[in-house]
Amino acid sequence: MNQQSELPLSGIVVVELGDSASAPFTGKILAELGAEVWKVERPTGDSSRGWGPSMWKGSGAAFHALNRGKQSISIDIKDREQLALLHQLIAERADVFLHNLRPGSAAKYGLDAESLRVTKPELVHCEVGAFGHTGPMNSLPGYDPLMQAFSGIMSITGEHDGPPVRAGVSIIDFGTGMWAAIGILAALHRRRTKLDGAAVNASLLETAIAWMSIGVAGYNADGAPGERHGSGVAFIVPHRAYSAADGDLIISCGNDGLFARLSQALDRPEWASDDRFATNTARLANRAEIDRSIADRLAQHPREHWQKRLQDFGVPVAPVQTTAEMVAHEQTKALGIIGAPTGDEIGVVGLPLSFDGKRPPPLPAAQNIGGADDRLHGVLGQRRGTDGNSDG
């Protein structure tokens, strides 16, 4: 048996009508878990094919990061014959249909859960939306930065005296892709006993609100809306970036014992017994003073010096690295999480999971846009059972 056939979702077929980031990321997760994923693109291609400035073999590097390991076919759902072909693919082959069409479009083309599950009740239908599947804003389109703004994430991100800042990566898109994958996996598991599929809904806004779980709990506890603390957080001190003589370090002391170790590592053991700093509550009240004292001490030596010393004392610490430094680091290499299927392909991040100590292998390269008739030849016309295996 090859490695792909041994993966958890081997035998499951996913049809993904996804564009940009969130739904394609879901499809990528499922492909890395062993599913056979058919990516349906409009004739002009997925939007991320044009995302620059980094390009690889004519498409944006982002497209390769999100769409490796999928069969790519081009279907114009506005064309009745091509739409019928998509319906046939779903009816005959799919265990899962995944999409992030604009609100209302799925029902218009008969691709909504209610329509598709009339004739195929075992189908797991997953819709990835923007503002959610219900409510007064459910018909509006949306993107990652809108949800970071709307959810309150940006209001607590950035320097205290600076403007709100968006996270540097698409945390909402990728988080929504994860939630959609979790929902799909749960529905597939339930289908094993109920022999019935499900309509799964995930959205960018719900994901963004979920990432605000601690902030919402804090607001409901004391009515404080939260503040910006730069690289730090509202509820732990120290837990932020500090500048050494030649670079920055993140130091995280999630309890008073770790702060005592930090005090020893910095040759300031008296801090651990100082009433201003001995407890996290006290340090929160004296945040500016302890932060200034730590910064003054760290500025006296290079980053590497402090990293080794703090590690020796068991204090959680990490350098603030560039992408290049992270990719080249021996820990990243040891994990083997960045790879390519062949030597002439772009290296991308793989699944951040291992099974029995083994990470699923790098997926085949992302495909060029292909015609549906060519790539579906010999695939359709088979009857499939609800367990994901072909009967025909």
- Closest to 151 measured CA to CA, from 206, 232, 229: 206
Distance CA 37, CA 68 (A): 10
Residue type at 27 in one-letter notation: G
| Cβ atoms of 184 and 126 closer than 8 Å | yes
| Exposed / middle / buried, residue 59 (Cβ in 10 Å: 0-12, 13-18, 19+) | buried
| Exposed / middle / buried, residue 308 (Cβ in 10 Å: 0-12, 13-18, 19+) | exposed
Distance CA 83, CA 374 (A): 16
Distance CA 253, CA 364 (A): 42
Question: Which one of the listed residues 161, 173, 248, 296 is annotated catalytic?
Answer: 173
* CB crowding 77-98: b at 16 or more within 10 Å, else e: beeeebbebbbebbebbbbbbb
- Closest to 238 measured CA to CA, from 269, 284, 298: 284
- Closest to 82 measured CA to CA, from 28, 41, 123, 29: 41
| Cβ atoms of 111 and 29 closer than 8 Å | no
Specify whether 144 is catalytic: no
Phi, psi of 88 (to 5 degrees): -65, -40
Catalytic residue set: 173
